[in-house]
Structure 1
Amino acid sequence: MGSDHHWQAPGGAPAQPPAPDASGTPPTAPQSFPPPSYGMAPPVGPPQLGWTPPPKPGLLPLRPLGFGTLLWAPFRVLRRNAAATFGTGLVVQLVSVVATLAVMVPFMVFVFSRIDGASAADADAIASGAVGGFILLMLVPLAIALVASAFLQGVMVVEVASGTLGDRLGFGALWKRAAKRIWPLLGWTAMLAGALLAVVLAFVLVIVFAAITGPAALVVAILVTLLAGLGIAALAAWLGTKLSLVPSVIVLESAGIGTAIRRSWRLTGGFFWRTFGTLVLVGAILYLASQVVVQPVSLIGTILAAVIDPTGSGAAVPITVVTMVVTLILSLLIGAITAVVQAALVAVIYIDLRMRTEALDLDLVRYVEQRDAGLPVADPYGAPAPSGLA
């Protein structure tokens, strides 16, 4: 019991304490290490990079767009650069309205003054001449509206294209760039207006000829015109969708009208229903929004006029005038928004289809990288090589 016992490892000699060194200083105790872990070894090599979304330097992500992005992108165009875009749309609406009023109001004042001072026999002749003069004078505001519409399309195409690259152009810069392609845009818009006018005149001539022939022929002509009108409407919807990208091609690719027609036809190939559905859906949204804003004002004004002056003595004339003025102002504002959004939508669809069919997104990414690095860059929206047209 009194003897010292040292621990002995199993199957080995008793453990001896370490002997002092030559100086007499005992050595330090052996260090202990943590037990080894038997988990997975850490990865060796460079870290693995996860998926990163495509860059979005501006308005649109540089990738083919999903339907939601495609649907709401034109509204973001209006919000992103409201001063330039909404201002342009408002100027276009004002020019069209002022041009129409400047032509029609003096003409109608002249006609009514002539009718009031004319005899009963001359009144019919004056009225007939007024109808012909009215039709001719309508060509003036129509031509002005065509010019304004073509210019607005050019402005919105430039805004969407530059905004996608992260640029924010001012009012004057947008107008300057769009003005460079105004003549081809006018030519294309005039072609559309001429085709529409030809169809309308053909229907009118058929009805007039049938009316001269007899009542039975008139009934048949009206029925045929209605059925033909449905067919023409379907054809117009198809052609309008296939050729909807012509303004974008004219502006961004500096193409002529014929080349732009062929390009638009190819780009929409295989994407007709997507393009048609987007155009119709955005148009329906804009129409419903405009009705929600304008109709309550008109309805409230009508109800107030009926309550204040139920007998129609004229006491509610100020309310009627105020209602008409407010409705006109709201119509101008909503018309400007509608025109801007619809023109921007066409440009967004154009960029999306080029990213899907011609890998435009890769060209845009390369352009942004080289521009940010201070390298010389070329226009990424230029017409692609012939192989990209197939």
Structure 2
Amino acid sequence: MSDTSGRGPQGQHGGPPGPYGGPQGPYGGPQGPYGGPPPGWGRNGGWAPPPPPPKPGVIPLAPLGVDHILGGTFATMRRYAKPLFGTAAAAYGLLAAVMIAAGVLAYVSVREHFQALYETDATFSWDHGRPLLIAFGAVWLVGMLATLAVNSFIQASCAATLHEAVLGRPATFAAVWRRAWSRTPSVMAVTVLLALILLLPVAACVLFFVSFIVVVLTQSSASFGLLFLLFLVVTPLAAWLYVLFAFAPAVAALETAGPLQALRRSVRLVRGAWWRTFGISLLAGVIVGVVSLAVRLPLQFATPAPPPVDPDTSTSTVLLAQLRSQFGLYALVGLVGTFVTQLAASVFLPLVTAVLYVDQRIRKEGLAHTLTDASSVPPPAPYEPPAP
């Protein structure tokens, strides 16, 4: 496990880390708060205010307010739309291809068992059900792993894009893809560890809702009070843990840290700023929810009415007519709207978290000076293989 949390211009193990390569304190000397000349008396005897913070990219290199965090996120999405949404769309396209291929392979492998479900002269038994459960359970498992990889890749690509956006440098699709792909395993490991940490509170919440349904159906309230108290305890615990480790994916992507080191770094950065991190993250989630609702509501009102049902019509004919009424142009528009909303949300939320991470490092570790120096250095030229 690599440790890149340096104690100065270089990490613990030497080497030239980037501007996000670990905590660094503010530089000494008679500089102002953002690396410029200090404030003092002006030429005319008046007090000269401190210079504005440098802004080489999408955010000023100074402690950020909510307006700067959201504004920097939207500016990154606008200026770096191609690498951001291009990598996310390509990742989702790859996920769709994997799921379609897995579904087709599963259907081909158990086709004769699947036909026993709807053929009139076939008898469905456990001998048919067991292969179906195994095949489509494998499809579900492949889908979960592929979704985890895709979401981790998108988080890494957002952090890689923000790395260049803060410095005001261009970012190409290929460069973001390479950097995000190299950090995806670490971000995946962080996500799995975070899921394991949150497993107990989430399981307790699921148990509460299941028990609530059982209580309503059986009209028995013997253990409902205890389950409700458990719910009141584990819900804040889950929220506290989630926010405490919120910066771990950004740390894993930007500091090239291992999973456990990323979790520890996130705890150190969030400490003392939990409520601020929670509030801004909640605001970002509300923005995503409002935009998603604004897209889905018109589609709900535009849903075509199902055809009338004739009592003499067979069940299969009725179901086929219902399916036909829900497909066509409406289904295409709904699919496109859902995909665009999901694409924007998958980019927006990790970007907000990554900007919050940069803000905390500016506040706690004097990262603004390092970023100011890094923004004045031209990016390295892309590697070109020698001509044969």
Q: TM-score, normalised by structure 1?
A: 0.70
Once the two structures are superposed, what CA deviation does each residue of 1:265-305 show, in whole Å capped at 9, x if it has no partner?
Answer: 01001110111111111111111101211231232023xx3
Aligned to 1:19: none
Are the counterparts in 1 of residues 116 and 122 from structure 2 also a CA contact under 8 Å?
Answer: no
CA distance in 1: counterparts of 2:165 and 2:43, whole angstroms: 43
**Structure 2: which amino acid aligns with 1:345?**
V
Q: Give the secondary-structure state (helix, strand or coil) at the position aligned to 2:302.
A: helix
Q: Of 345, 370, 373, which aligns to 2:352?
A: 345
Distance 1:353 1:90, change over 3 A: same
Q: Give the secondary-structure state (helix, strand or coil) at the position aligned to 2:328.
A: helix
Find out whether 1:251 has 2:257 as its counterpart.
no
Structure 1 residues 1-390: aligned runs within 5 Å: 50-104=49-103, 107=106, 110=111, 112-117=114-119, 122-123=124-125, 126-127=128-129, 130-131=132-133, 133-194=135-196, 228-229=230-231, 231-302=233-304, 305-306=305-306, 309-311=307-309, 314=321, 317=324, 320-369=327-376, 371=377
CA distance in 1: counterparts of 2:195 and 2:368, whole angstroms: 34
Once the two structures are superposed, what CA deviation does each residue of 1:59-101 show, in whole Å capped at 9, x if it has no partner?
Answer: 1111110111113322222111111101122223333344334
CA distance in 2: counterparts of 1:317 and 1:44, whole angstroms: 79
Distance 1:161 1:203, change over 3 A: closer
CA distance in 2: counterparts of 1:202 and 1:133, whole angstroms: 30
Unaligned runs of 5+ in 1: 1-42, 209-214, 377-390
Distance 1:115 1:45, change over 3 A: closer
Structure number with bigger Rg = 1
Distance 1:127 1:322, change over 3 A: farther
Are the counterparts in 2 of residues 89 and 337 from structure 1 also a CA contact under 8 Å?
Answer: no
**Structure 2: which amino acid aligns with 1:184?**
S
Distance 1:334 1:317, change over 3 A: same
CA distance in 2: counterparts of 1:129 and 1:207, whole angstroms: 32
Q: Give the secondary-structure state (helix, strand or coil) at the position aligned to 2:53.
A: coil
Distance 1:196 1:46, change over 3 A: closer
Number of residue pairs the alignment of both structures matches:
323
Q: CA deviation at 1:191?
A: 2.5
Q: CA deviation at 1:55?
A: 1.1
**Structure 2: which amino acid aligns with 1:329?**
V
